[in-house]
Structure 1
Amino acid sequence: MQNTKSYSWWSREQRPYTFAEKVADSIVHLLGLIGAAAAGSILLTLATTQTAPDAVPALSVYVGTLLAVLGISFAYNLWPVSPVKKWLARFDQAAIFLFIAGTYTPFLAVIGGTPVGMAMTTFVWGASLIGVALKLIIPERFGRLAIALYLAIGWSGVLVFQSLAQTLPETTLWLLLAGGVTYSLGIIFHLWEKLKFQNALWHVFVVGGASLHLWAVIDCMVIHRL
């Protein structure tokens, strides 16, 4: 029998998931992917043709990282324990860093011409790329410290809150805050591995947070520019 400790950092399973748990997790991922693909396509189409053609590069980065993180997560979480899953784990955890930076990109683009905006963009992408490198090269030594870094980068927007508040619509700010809180609460289930359906519940919060942030982007780049 394979030693659980030898692959615990990448399997994230203290116990084998039941068939029902895997089905539930698959449904959550599929709904997230379908919704992200549909809403992302609408966002890019409207931004390109009507509301924000200048922001299309930033929006493309955002939508691309959103689909990547959901797609890689789907593949990793549903793949059986094997050498392939071990590699998927690296990409799954690295993609989270890219997604955090990608989510910030459309909003930082709005204040991108300012010293604050440029400094924040440099910090977010710099820290995220360092996280990507660590997860790809030495993931077994990074461990759950990555969660703290995810949260630190994710909530670093409070450092430029005043600049964002002066530029972004109020509803966009509330949606951003709600998404951040949703992600943060979901970490409880991510760590609560002995709870039945914990992985599916964690991904419900992930999809929920991503949906709120996607709506924030649409609110900022489309709705308030029509």
Structure 2
Amino acid sequence: MPVMKTENGFSLKYFSKINHVIPWEDLKNVQWKNKRACGKEAYCPTKVEHIANVITHGVWVIPSIFGWKLLLQRAKTSSQVLAALVYGASLVALFSVSTCFHSVFYCNRNKPLKDALHRCDRAMIYIFIAGSYFPWLTIVLNGHTGLTAIMQWFVWLLAFLGIIYQQLFHERFKSLETIFYLIMGIGPALPIISENDFSGMRELKIGGMIYVLGVIFFKADGSIPCAHAIWHIFVVVAAGVHYFAILSHLFPET
């Protein structure tokens, strides 16, 4: 490799050294994705994708536990305690169940356990959406009238119906299932945003938009390398935005 020069005449020999350190040829031979799944079949990730799926949610299990603990420490009223318990539990469960599923899927030694965890992983999406709304509906919007009042129980009804549908039609009608996620994620937010104005609404909107953008990768397995891991990253970022909004606005440090 020819030695590169800067404007000051200093050689950049470290570029040459980097080329010797990084196994470019080996990286070229890595299988970054498999073919898209057809029909009712589930996508089978490559080894690299499996590892990425485990890591991108696995590293957040312990931080989510500490985040849950911090909410409980700051909770002063009964509404705050209840909100912290429900939201924190859903946050920890989301990352824990996802990590367990992808770990077992990677090992691929226990198909019944893998299938059961896959169902739990999908169900956790519904529970986490409802859990993410819970602090706002319990602490900020409790006692409000109109559609906002209905949302307090309606989000859990949607979660229950979504889980039933997902269990009955597991790995079938996948696009319809994704539409259900979007409806549950966006639908309750519309009356809440239109009928109310409260501190933290901007972060609520930003987090929601990040989730929606991430769905592009959620449906791109086999088209984009490590698409599901990228979806995980979107979930982490959006969940982080919502968590710090809840911590700052609903559980202020006193």
TM-score (norm 2): 0.76
- What code does the residue aligned with 1:91 have? C
Q: Displacement, 1:162?
A: 3.5
> Match for residue 79 of structure 1?
104
Q: How many residues align?
A: 210
**Any residues of structure 2 matched to 1:1-226 within 5 Å, and which?**
8=41, 11-13=42-44, 16-18=45-47, 20-48=48-76, 52-80=77-105, 81=108, 82-109=111-138, 110-116=140-146, 117-156=148-187, 157-165=189-197, 168-169=198-199, 172-194=200-222, 195-223=224-252, 226=254
Cα distance in 1 between the residues matched to 2:168 and 2:84: 29
Inter-partner Cα distance in structure 1 for 2:144 and 2:86: 20
Which runs of structure 1 show a deviation greater than 4 angstroms over 4 or more consecutive aligned residues? Answer: 4-7
1:53 positional shift: 4.2
What 5-or-longer segments of structure 2 have no aligned partner?
A: 1-36
Following superposition, the deviation at residue 30 of structure 1 comes to 2.2
Compare relative contact order (CA 8 Å, sep 6+) and give the higher one, 1 or 2: 1
Counterpart CA distance in 1 for 2:96 and 2:178 is: 20
Shift of 1:201: 0.9
Alignment deviations for residues 97-132 of structure 1 (CA, whole Å, 9 cap, x no partner):
111111101101121212233211222111111001
**Cα-to-partner distance string for 1:179-211 (whole Å, 9 max, x where unaligned):** 111111111111111221212111001111111
Kindly name which structure, 1 or 2, has the bigger radius of gyration based on alpha carbons: 2
CA deviation digits over 1:116-156, x for unaligned, max 9?
33211222111111001112233244523121111111112
Q: CA deviation at 1:43?
A: 1.3
Report if the CA contact (8 A) 2:158-2:184 is conserved. yes
The whole-number CA distance in structure 2 between the counterparts of 1:94 and 1:146 is 11
| Letter of the 1:113 counterpart | G
